[in-house]
Amino acid sequence: MNSAQPIRTVDLGEVEPARSRHMWTRSAVALTESCVAVGQWDGAITAFDRESLALDWEVDHSDSPATLCEFDDLLIAAGRGESGRIAAYDAATGDRQWSYYTAEDIGESSSDRVFEQPYVVDCIAGDNRLFAAARRYERDGETRRWHSAVYAFGFDGTVDWTYSADASPISLDLAATGDRLAVGYNRCMGEHDHGLVVLDAATGKPTWMWDPGTAGDRRVGDVSFDGDSLAVTSHGDKRGYLLGSGGREQWRVDLAVPTEVGDETLYAYPNHVHAHDGRVAFLTGNTYAEEGRETVGRHPNEHRILAVDSDGTEQWDATLGGFVHGVAAEDDRIVVPCAQNFRVRNPADHALQWFLLNAGDHGSRSFEGIPTAAAVDGGTVVTVEEPIVYHDDGTERGRYAIHLESIVEDESLG
């Protein structure tokens, strides 16, 4: 796969540059048939015409919109803030249709720290329902707690059902048939002791549960349906799984399991997964040491994408170079915005990369700043770039902008 077609760019104004270590999710982007919608760090949601990139509308969402998705003729925005607000806007005009404040269910922040604010971590649209997961963290001395809820909304904002737990949801996926919703929980500190719950999408009742069975509170990183199967990344044992109906384990693969490198035992979290048509891609993140925060070495499988077939046999892999906040996928195509590697701090790793899951074909686009969010539709991709200053360098690189381009040059590839 060759590099992308010429790029079109819109500046988004000023934002505090990211630093060596990763900041929280500050931007979101969605690509619809008619517009490019961007959620900005200051709460603004801006929609640009997809063809001309002229400004269509802008609204103040108030909370920082960390996730955007299309739901029929609505644009759904949600994220982090005092209220943990989910709001639906008319995708053509920006007029607000309804709002819901998740803080009324999971509680208000007990401090002014950003990571303790209510946070809607994911939204996904079905044919007639919108699903969302919200969480809130609090710490009182040595006591740490999570409060969370998963929601199903109708088109008018009516809550059809809620599933609550004292655990931290991190990802959602809806089966293609629309009848099952998978919820991944990455931290389980209380009575809820399952890293994965599959809910009946119509009622919100659990149909089955699964857990990697590891010690500690780390459980699941991401989930992705492929027909009747469900691919899962495990934060508990740093492996990837494919589960069948009822949670039956079909296979598992080592991704970034604890590995001795010199005098250190190192691991990395498998943070993302995309499954489609009998293939599964797993993506890993940063290196960590079992003893202490700093490391001398790096895990051999950090910042890596690995594709396996329906039997769990490795097909291809590639180095990503930098941390991935989230992936965008369209059928066989997976788009990966790769930001900084805080241990290595190499600006050459700032890139958008894309792959064809079945063939492993690859293309990329480098950026001065760090790509932190992306969306893909019909072979067109939009990327959010944010500026960065490394702590041991002092040079500001990049800008706050969106970039729109086509990544389909050979029609036989997609």
What is the full DSSP assignment across 150-216?
EEEE-TTS-EEEEEEESEEEEEEEE-TTSSEEEEEEEEE-SS---SEEEEETTT--EEEEE----SS
CA atoms 46, 222, 311, 338: torsion sign = positive
Q: What is the reported pLDDT for 39?
A: 97
CA dist 77 → 70, 80, 96, 124, 313 (Å): 9, 11, 10, 11, 38
CA atoms 204, 81, 135, 107: torsion sign = negative
Q: What is the reported pLDDT for 333?
A: 96
Cα torsion through 329, 220, 298, 357, rounded to 10:
-20
**pLDDT one-digit tens code per residue, 107-116:** 999 888 888 9
Instruction: Could you list the beta-strand ranges (E) of 194-332.
Output: 196-200, 206-210, 220-226, 229-234, 239-243, 249-254, 259-261, 264-276, 279-289, 304-308, 314-319, 328-330
Question: Structure pTM?
Answer: 0.95
Taking phi over 0 as left and psi of -120 to 50 as alpha, with beta for the rest, 379 belongs to: left
d(CA 70, CA 322): 28
SS3 for 33-98, per residue?
CCEEEEECCCCEEEEEECCCCCEEEEEECCCEEEEEEEECCEEEEEEECCCCEEEEEECCCCCEEE
d(CA 188, CA 386): 32
d(CA 188, CA 195): 7
**pLDDT one-digit tens code per residue, 330-365:** 999 999 999 999 889 999 999 999 999 998 999 999
For residue 18, give the DSSP letter.
B
Per-residue confidence at 412, pLDDT binned at 50, 70, 90? very low
Minimal CA–CA distance to 132: which of 169, 166, 177? 169
Chain centroid to CA 375: how far?
11
Q: Mean pLDDT across the stretch 33-37?
A: 95
Token pair listed for 271: 């943070």
In percent, the amount of the chain with pLDDT more than 90 equals 88
Per-residue confidence at 409, pLDDT binned at 50, 70, 90? low
Q: Mean pLDDT across the stretch 297-320?
A: 97
Q: At a CB cut-off of 8 Å and minimum separation 6, what does 351 contact?
A: 321, 322, 338, 364, 365, 366, 367, 371
**pLDDT one-digit tens code per residue, 45-81:** 999 999 999 999 999 998 988 999 999 999 999 999 9
Minimal CA–CA distance to 32: which of 52, 48, 11, 43? 48
Decide which of 318 and 343 is more confident. Answer: 318
d(CA 60, CA 46): 9
Output the CA angle 107-109-112, nearest 5 degrees. 175
Per-residue confidence at 410, pLDDT binned at 50, 70, 90? very low
Q: Mean pLDDT across the stretch 268-272?
A: 97
CA dist 290 → 144, 257, 265, 266 (Å): 21, 11, 6, 6
Q: Where are the domains of the chain?
A: 1-22+328-414
Q: Which contacts of 258-262 are long-range, i.e. CB under 8 A and separated by 24 or more positions? A: 258/290, 259/299, 259/300, 259/301, 261/297, 261/298, 261/299, 261/300, 262/296, 262/297
Residue with token string 């990211």: 18
Q: At a CB cut-off of 8 Å and minimum separation 6, what does 86 contact?
A: 76, 77, 78, 99, 100, 102, 120, 123, 132, 134, 151, 153
Buried b (16+ CB within 10 A) or exposed e, 307-337: bbebeeeeebebebbbbbbbbbbbebbbbbb
Q: Which helix (H) or strand (E) holds 348?
A: none
Token pair listed for 175: 């089966």
